[in-house]
Amino acid sequence: MRLYNTLTRREEAFTPRSDNVVRMYTCGLTVYSRGHIGNFRTFVCLDVLRRALRYLEGYDMRQVMNFTDVDDRVIVESQKAGLGIREYTERYIAAFLEDAAALGLEAAEATPRATDEENLRAMSDMIRALEARGHTYRSEGSIYFKIASMPDYGKLARLDHAGIQPGARIDADKYDKENARDFALWKATKPGEPTWDYGLGPGRPGWHIECSAMALRLLGEPPIDLHAGGVDLIFPHHENEIAQAEGATGKPFSRFWVHVEHLILEEEKMSKSLGNVFTVKDVIDQGHRASALRYLLLSSHYRKQLRFSWATLAQAEEAMRRLGDFLARLETVANANAHPALQERVAAAREAFAGDLRADLNTAGALGTMFDLVRALNSAIDAGDIGTPDVGVIRDAFASFDRVLGIMSLRRAEDDRPPVPVEEIARLIEERQAARRRREFGTADRIRTDLETRGILLEDGPGGTRWKKK
């Protein structure tokens, strides 16, 4: 597999450093609110990368995806809610796990929280190592990273060193590219803020130190194989992660850096700060399916911006329907003869599909290859040039496609469960029956119509009312 490495600005052949195990760190959510579908574009693309490395290349995976549960925004929002940060962020971690399951994300091997004690201790140890190597200074109880101490600072973001002002510092966790300044590793305690002390003095970690420390604590000696996230993290977050990890260890931090481009809505990136966001729950509540959203999020190359609209989501749903209809047609094949040329066509498609993904995770090309095959096989079914021995070969191919794409298995799981919880359906049927006994037929009709719009059809018969999926 070849991947575009942001650090070198070129595609490079990727293999793990040792033991057939890919050590991969993915920057997860900062859990001050529910993640939006722009966040999940990154997570879906990186899920496909994980699956390609695992199922296509045969590597074992050791993936860490963190939750940032303490930073400036978490503190502000938890204070507004009148809750401790652990209690406040728990709801958004639960929401992320719900959304990740809805989109079919494979679980990472580790999902640490920044405020776990072992992680806070690892951060403190890394800061002490940076102090010992002369990369820090203290001011008013806080500890800062001295970027002038790293001659190659800015190598990931390609910063212009002429714009760096030695000695100028910034306390905010997030800042613009124009603000390349010394940044806080450990922030002195302020009234009302959470505080810890593991030998550095009372305070809390800065955002950037969290990921550097957790990555090396859980993935071992640097360099790790692969570090990934959205393009908005290149600077300052990932740049500062490199400075901290390499300043503390004297070794390269990560061999590969992979970044996913923005999801665009009405000419702007989708961002919580801009207020133009939809969550996975919003999409589902609008009557769309998570499998169609997953399809849409991987329908463009991960390094290209992807435009979201309800129209493009409808197009994704139509593509999923075409795929489902084709797979259902295979059940109608009754011819007992095998067709070697057809099986060769399937084998060629499998090879092309793998080639697309090995070319810097070209999911758009892989989907195109798959649908080219669907068209060819539909034509073969129309012409009677397909037999039952071929069907097993075809199903095996599409199963191999889906181990990486994760769209068909997600659609099947959706089909296996009703769009409305069974308990709620039973309650509404009883309410409808009671309304009919009271001769409140308008109420009964509204219940039937509401369920129908949500994908559930009611059928009245001599034995009572039954339901089925629409």
Which pLDDT tens digits describe the chain residue by residue (470 residues)?
Answer: 999 999 999 999 999 998 999 999 999 999 999 999 999 999 999 999 999 999 999 999 999 999 999 999 999 999 999 999 999 999 999 999 999 999 999 999 999 999 999 999 999 999 999 999 999 999 999 999 999 999 999 999 998 877 677 678 988 887 776 678 899 999 999 998 999 999 999 999 999 999 999 999 999 999 999 999 999 999 999 999 999 999 999 999 999 999 999 999 866 776 766 777 899 999 998 889 999 999 999 999 999 999 999 999 999 999 999 999 999 999 999 999 999 999 999 999 999 999 999 999 999 999 999 999 999 999 999 999 999 999 999 999 999 999 999 999 999 999 888 778 888 999 999 999 999 999 999 999 999 999 988 888 898 987 789 888 77
Exposure string (b/e) for 80-113, b if CB count within 10 Å is 16 or more?
eeeeebeebbbebbebbeebbebbbbeebeebbb
Q: Domain check: are 234 and 383 in the same one?
A: no
Residues 318 and 447 in one domain: no
Q: Tell me, yes or no, whether 171 and 51 share the same domain.
A: yes
Examine the domain organization and report whether 428 and 403 are in the same domain.
no
Query: According to DSSP H, which parts of 133-236 are helical?
Result: 207-219
Same domain, 206 and 70: yes
Domain presence at residue 231: yes
* End position of a domain, from candidates 260, 287, 320: 260
Is the same domain home to 196 and 322?
Answer: no
Query: Does a structural domain hold residue 272?
Result: no
**Domains held by the chain: number:** 3
Write the CB contacts of 407 (distance below 8 Å, at least 6 apart in sequence): 104, 291, 294, 295, 298, 320, 323
- Assess if residue 282 is contained within a domain: no
Q: What is the pLDDT of residue 113?
A: 97
Q: Which residues contact 115 (CB under 8 A, 6 or more apart)?
A: 69, 70, 85, 86, 194
Residue 98 CA to residue 92 CA, distance in Å, equals 10
Provide the CATH number for the domain around residue 185: 3.40.50.620
Which of 229, 242, 233 lies closest to 152, judged by CA?
Answer: 242
**Does residue 148 form part of some domain?**
yes
Query: Do residues 237 and 176 both lie within one domain?
Result: yes
Residue 135 lies in a domain: yes
Q: What is the largest CA-CA distance in the chain?
A: 84
Pair 390, 338 in one domain: yes
Strands 254-260 and 224-230, sheet pairing: parallel
The answer as to whether 291 is a domain residue is: no
- Return the structure tokens found at 214: 């957790």
pLDDT of residue 163: 66
The residue range of the domain holding 24 is 2-260
- Residue 32 domain-assigned (yes or no): yes
Q: Are 238 and 106 members of one domain? A: yes
User: Does residue 29 sit in the same domain as residue 171?
Assistant: yes
User: Are 406 and 341 within one domain?
Assistant: yes
Q: Are 335 and 397 in contact (CB under 8 A)?
A: no
Quick check: 215 and 224 in contact, CB under 8 A?
A: yes
280 within domain boundaries:
no
Tokens of 46: 């990186």
Cβ atoms 313, 283 nearer than 8 A: yes
> Is 66 exposed, middle or buried (CB count within 10 Å of its CB: 0-12, 13-18, 19+)?
buried
Based on the fold, state whether residues 326 and 178 are members of the same structural domain: no
